[in-house]
Each structure stands twice: as structure tokens, then as C-alpha cells.
Amino acid sequence: MGGNQTQIKFILSGITDSPGAQIPLFVLFLLNYIVILMGNFGIIILVRVSSSLQTPMYFFLSHFAFTDICYSTVISPRMLADLLSEDKTISFLGCMMQSQSFTHFAVIECHLLAMMAYDRHVAICQPLLYVTIISRRVCWQLVASSYLFAFLSAIICTWCVFGGSFCGPNRINHFFCDVVPVLKLVCSDTHSSEMVIFAFVTINVVGTSVIILLSYISIICNVLRVCSAQSRARAFHTCTSHLMALALLYGSAFFMYLQPPSSHRSLDKVASILYAVVNPMLNPFIYSLRNKEVKEALIKCRRRFFNHWQHRRVVLSTT
């Protein structure tokens, strides 16, 4: 990568060119980002302070919430600023860092979803071996390996895109520096880069989605075989909501990344909004607030906080 490459500036097209739509979209996506931060920080804090949530499932869930915060923060602040600004230029290094960071956290999220699905599979299908298979040490090893593999994937994919030569148009037809729209601006031959990116997407997205589907199929078969009608209904309700969230994430990711760059069209922005903006907002509600254990922990923490506040108020009034 030559030194002159780093002097290039890109121009992001943004979400829309319509002046009348920019303020409403700014308000909408600002509220969306606030919900993402509040919901996911709430999960992290709740898992940390609640003794009843010190299990592998919620250990993975807290990392999942952290990842949602990170990869939303890579996208949303810049997107919000661009909705209010006419200057949508971004430096070469800034664009490269945004692309690498987003890829890094998106890959971690895929791996964490697979871990959470496998954790539920072991808990339901092999309950007697659960403590042995999903030990605390194994949890840390799985999470650490996902962070490391995601970092290496992001480095390689970013190099495949930004290691090429940029000598033509500098307008990125997107609202952030995603791999596919930036790759379309590369002047040199991109076939090998496309193959490498396709391979990493297949490993990370298709590979984890297969693990998730097999885990849920095993769970459903086990539930049908051993549980009562009420337990089946509850399990199916939970599995359905999880699978809907997964379909939203993986469906939009497949649409965006598992097709040649020449085939991409205007729906790319819609797909990106679904997996980069909408999905992190829905995840806290789907994976946490619909969960009975989380609701009970939330009620206990609220009661504990209220009692502490009442006690403090009494102490202050008597002094």
C-alpha cells in the first residue's frame, strides 16, 4: 500500500439524497442508537450484578451485547453526522479503520450466536454433561478464540480491499465503508480479493449458521420427545423468536456478501440497515427481556435498588 494511497479521500453517498427525509431519519436513527446503548449496556450490567445470571449462557450474552454496542458505534455516529452534514468525505485511513472494525465485530457476533445456540443444545439435550462440556474455562477459550479469529479475518479482508489501487471514482455508494461497495472502486483486478472475502464469509456466516440450525433442530426434536405440551409451546415460542432474529441477520448478510459485486443494487442499503442498525436494537428484547430469568433478575435488582434508596433516605433524614 503506497504512501500516496493514504492521501485519498472517499465520499459516502449516505442513506438518502432527499433533503426532506434527512431530519426525520436522523431522529429515527438517533432514537434507535439510544435504544441499542441502553438495552445492551443494561444487559451487561444486569448479568454482572445478578448472581442468578452467572451461567455460561449469560456470559455469552453479555459479550454479545458488548459486540452489538461496538459494531453499532462503528456505524451509527458517523451515519448520524452525515445526515446533518453536506460534507460526507472520509479519509482513506478512516474508511479502512471503519471497515476493519465493523468486520471484526460482525464476525464475533456470528461466532457468539453459534456458541449461544450450542450452549442451549447441550443444556437441553445433554443436561447431565452440561457442567463438564460448557465449563467456565471452555467459555473463556471459545470467546477468546472468536475475538482472535475475527481479528485475523478482519485484517485479511481489509487488506484484500484497501490493498488494491484506487485511481478512479471515489464516491462510495453506501452510508459506511463496507467491504463490497469499497471493493467496487478498486481499479486493479479484484477476482482474487473477491474469492478470499467469499471464503471468509462462507466460513464465518455459513459455517456458524449451520451450527445454529443443527443446534435448534436438535433442541426441537428433543423437546418434542420428552416435554409436556406446555413446555413444548414455551420452547417453540423461544426458538421461533430466536430463529426470526437469526433469519433477519443472516438473510441480510447472505444478500449483501454472497453475491458478486457486479450484482449489487439499491437494496444493499436496506440490507445493511437491517443487520447493522435494526438487528442490534432488537437483540436485547429477543434474547433477554423475553427471558423469564432475566425478568426475575431485573425485578430483584430494581427491588434491591429501591430498598437501598429508601434506607439511604431514612439515614439522611435522621442525621
Domains and CATH numbers, the chain: 11-311 (1.20.1070.10)
According to the model, what pLDDT value does residue 28 have? 93
- For the entire predicted model, the pTM comes to 0.85
According to the model, what pLDDT value does residue 265 have? 59
Q: Write out the chain in H/E/C secondary structure.
A: CCHHHHHCEEEECCCCCCHHHHHHHHHHHHHHHHHHHHHHHHHHHHHHHCHHHCCHHHHHHHHHHHHHHHHHHHHHHHHHHHHCCCCCEEEHHHHHHHHHHHHHHHHHHHHHHHHHHHHHHHHHHCHHHHHHHCCHHHHHHHHHHHHHHHHHHHHHHHHHHHCCCCCCCCEECCCCCCHHHHHCCCCCCCHHHHHHHHHHHHHHHHHHHHHHHHHHHHHHHHHHHHCCHHHHHHHHHHHHHHHHHHHHHHHHHHHHHCCCHHHCCCHHHHHHHHHHHHHHHHHHHHHHHCCHHHHHHHHHHHHHHHHHHHHHHHHHHHC
Q: What is the pLDDT of residues 87-137, one digit of tens each?
A: 889 999 999 999 999 999 999 999 998 998 898 888 888 888 888 899 999
| Residue 276 pLDDT class (50, 70, 90 cuts) | confident
According to the model, what pLDDT value does residue 227 have? 63
Percent of the chain with pLDDT over 70: 84
| Residue 20 pLDDT class (50, 70, 90 cuts) | confident
| Residue 260 pLDDT class (50, 70, 90 cuts) | low
Q: What is the pLDDT of residues 176-211, one digit of tens each?
A: 998 888 888 888 888 888 888 888 888 888 888 899
| Residue 5 pLDDT class (50, 70, 90 cuts) | low
Q: What is the pLDDT of residues 146-163, one digit of tens each?
A: 999 999 999 999 998 888
Check whether 242 has a pLDDT greater than 90. Answer: no
According to the model, what pLDDT value does residue 76 have? 92
